[in-house]
Amino acid sequence: MGNPRILAIPYPAQGHVIPLMELSHWLVDQGFSITFVNTEFNHKRVRDAFGNKVEGDDSIHLVSIPDGMEPGEDRNHLGKLTDGISNVMTSELRKLLKKINGFEDDKISYVIADVNMGWALDIAAEFEIPGVAFWPASAFLLALLFSTNKLLNDQIIDKYGTPINAERMIELCPNTPAIHPKNFLWISLGDFTTQKITFEYAKRNIKAIENVEWLICNTAFDLEPGALSFVPQILPIGPLSATNQLEPLTVSFWPEDETSLEWLDQQQPGSVIYVAFGSFTVFDPIQFQELALGLELSNRPFLWVVRPDITKGTQCEELYPEGFKTRVGSRGKMVGWAPQRAVLAHPSIACFISHCGWNSTVEGISNGVPFLCWPYFADQFIDETYICEIWKIGLGFKRDEREIISREEIKSKVEQLLNDESFKEEALKLKGLVMNSVNENGSSNTIFNNFIEWM
């Protein structure tokens, strides 16, 4: 009989797969084995990025099931992806559990499901396997999802999730960001059909996790006291990025450019602007050029993640302003995908121009890095408010009349952030708080230990 085995199933997006894999590594350290379930599509991407390294070992076994979409279909179309998950993944997971638990010796003892895959806990219950829900984003965002019935009853949204007054800011609970209805998660993900599908899907998942004994979240009490007091069922065990496990997770959808770290080694301490927009964000070509020119104008070294699909349809190489690469020379480094957790931990980093996805946010915080916020959609605006107004560890950009963040605005905000030491000081203070929470006897650590004890 080996270690107790946990089946871990993330929502099939990069920002969900990475933190669940971080949690899996942490659980392996506690003596568990993991069966990590990616979609076939993502498993192939990871395999293409990492080659044989992704086969995993006995402690973390990587398996895959179909996501219900055709190979060439766009996984960033969240309405279609949600339909595929609901129609196909559910029965595929059932089949997988049946197959694995058919073996006497290596049965699944627990299922840990991303809240966005809450339905997986209903399936676990069919097999009488105890379920745990994991939320990789802010407690505030989850509190918002928990509040949909209240928003309906208070007539803030209609039955499709559409805001009744599109301009009224919503204050969900004290000490949390006020939220504009256009930034409700289900509104910001696509057209009306996508909204309806994702809103229904979110409600179904919330129902599935309502009575779960363990709802753990990649946050810390010191980061989100307001949201965590508002929904005490959410148990903070993070941020996982503060546990300083920087070993490669081998779940990136693109190959990590290791030369990023060598290049950082050659830069002065606290000098480099790190620029990255996560796995989803797509840039308008004009904005892309303005960003390039803003970085050039900043006159500082920069490491810029230019994902191969960062602009729709156009090859990135054609997008750089004429002569840009020659003019910036070795002062600027562009990579397709960086080992971000290690990059943010590097002493050369001065600040982070970020889209403010939750993982990027907590990874920056765990390393005491101040932010320049460039949110696009979903919870990124909420995280920007946390960063700028609540934690005071960064600044936002203003868009001009073209809705563009201009090169002058970029230069000016970089200077403002780096010339005012208070941002770095606050960032280091917050880092200290989150480190304390994951260290021995800290609030997140205590909850994590109780969780292990329970298992």
Q: Which of 45, 80, 180, 341 binds ligand UDP (CB under 6 A)?
A: 341
Q: Could you tell me the smallest distance in angstroms from the CB atom of residue 253 to ligand UDP?
A: 9
User: In terms of CB distance, is 282 or 319 closer to ligand UDP?
Assistant: 282
Q: Could you tell me the smallest distance in angstroms from the CB atom of residue 338 to ligand UDP?
A: 4
Q: Footprint of ligand UDP on residues 428-447 (CB under 6 A)?
A: none
Span of 67-75, 145-153, 191-199, 332-340 interacting with ligand UDP by CB under 6 A: 332-340
Q: Could you tell me the smallest distance in angstroms from the CB atom of residue 5 to ligand UDP?
A: 25
Phi, psi of 67, rounded to the nearest 5 degrees: -100, 5
Q: Does the protein bind ligand UDP through residue 140 (CB under 6 A)?
A: no
Instruction: Name the maximum alpha-carbon separation found in the chain.
Output: 65
Q: Which of 138, 252, 267, 444 binds ligand UDP (CB under 6 A)?
A: 252
Span of 14-22, 38-46, 140-148, 326-334 interacting with ligand UDP by CB under 6 A: 14-22
Report which residue type is found at 440: E
Q: Does the protein bind ligand UDP through residue 340 (CB under 6 A)?
A: yes
Q: Could you tell me the smallest distance in angstroms from the CB atom of residue 384 to ligand UDP?
A: 12
User: In terms of CB distance, is 140 or 337 closer to ligand UDP?
Assistant: 337
Report which residue type is found at 418: L
Question: How far lies 59's CA from each of 7, 27, 62, 130, 325, in Å?
Answer: 12, 10, 10, 20, 44
Span of 172-180, 207-215, 278-286, 295-303 interacting with ligand UDP by CB under 6 A: 278-286
Specify which residues 236 forms β-bridges with.
217
The DSSP annotation for 347-408 comes to TTEEEEEE---HHHHHHHHHTT--EEE---STTHHHHHHIIIIIS--EEEPPP-TTS---HH
Span of 183-191, 215-223, 310-318, 336-344 interacting with ligand UDP by CB under 6 A: 336-344
How far from the centroid of its chain's Cα atoms is residue 192's Cα? 24
Q: Could you tell me the smallest distance in angstroms from the CB atom of residue 359 to ligand UDP?
A: 3
Question: How far lies 206's CA from each of 40, 71, 368, 427, in Å?
Answer: 25, 29, 33, 33
- Dig out the tokens for 249 from the structure: 């997770």
Q: Could you tell me the smallest distance in angstroms from the CB atom of residue 221 to ligand UDP?
A: 20
Q: Which of 11, 186, 280, 374 binds ligand UDP (CB under 6 A)?
A: 280
User: In terms of CB distance, is 14 or 148 closer to ligand UDP?
Assistant: 14
Separation of alpha carbons 355 and 372, rounded Å: 9
User: In terms of CB distance, is 129 or 350 closer to ligand UDP?
Assistant: 350
Closest residue (Cβ) to ligand UDP?
A: 15
Q: Does the protein bind ligand UDP through residue 337 (CB under 6 A)?
A: yes
Q: Could you tell me the smallest distance in angstroms from the CB atom of residue 361 to ligand UDP?
A: 7
* Site pattern 347..386 for ligand UDP (x: CB under 6 A): ----------xxxx--x-----------------------
Separation of alpha carbons 274 and 315, rounded Å: 22
User: Cα 358–361–366 angle (5° rounding)?
Assistant: 125
Q: Does the protein bind ligand UDP through residue 14 (CB under 6 A)?
A: yes
Span of 37-45, 186-194, 275-283, 442-450 interacting with ligand UDP by CB under 6 A: 275-283
Q: Could you tell me the smallest distance in angstroms from the CB atom of residue 198 to ligand UDP?
A: 15
Q: Does the protein bind ligand UDP through residue 18 (CB under 6 A)?
A: yes
Collect all residues with Cβ–Cβ distance below 8 Å to 368 and sequence separation of at least 6.
424, 427, 428, 430, 431
Q: Could you tell me the smallest distance in angstroms from the CB atom of residue 306 to ligand UDP?
A: 9
First to last CA, the chain: 17
Q: Does the protein bind ligand UDP through residue 201 (CB under 6 A)?
A: no
Residue ranges in 127-224 assigned as alpha helix (H): 139-146, 148-153, 192-209
- Dig out the tokens for 139 from the structure: 């407690």
Separation of alpha carbons 265 and 453, rounded Å: 41
User: In terms of CB distance, is 116 or 267 closer to ligand UDP?
Assistant: 116
Considering just the CA atoms, what is the radius of gyration of the chain in Å? 22
Q: Which of 108, 185, 264, 305 binds ligand UDP (CB under 6 A)?
A: 305
DSSP state for residue 326 in the 8-state scheme: H
Question: How far lies 163's CA from each of 156, 167, 340, in Å?
Answer: 6, 9, 36
How many residues of this chain interact with ligand UDP, rule: CB under 6 A?
18
User: In terms of CB distance, is 267 or 340 closer to ligand UDP?
Assistant: 340
Tokens 């939750």 correspond to what residue? 358
| Interacting residues with ligand UDP (CB under 6 A) | 14-15, 18, 252, 276, 278-280, 305, 337-338, 340-341, 357-360, 363
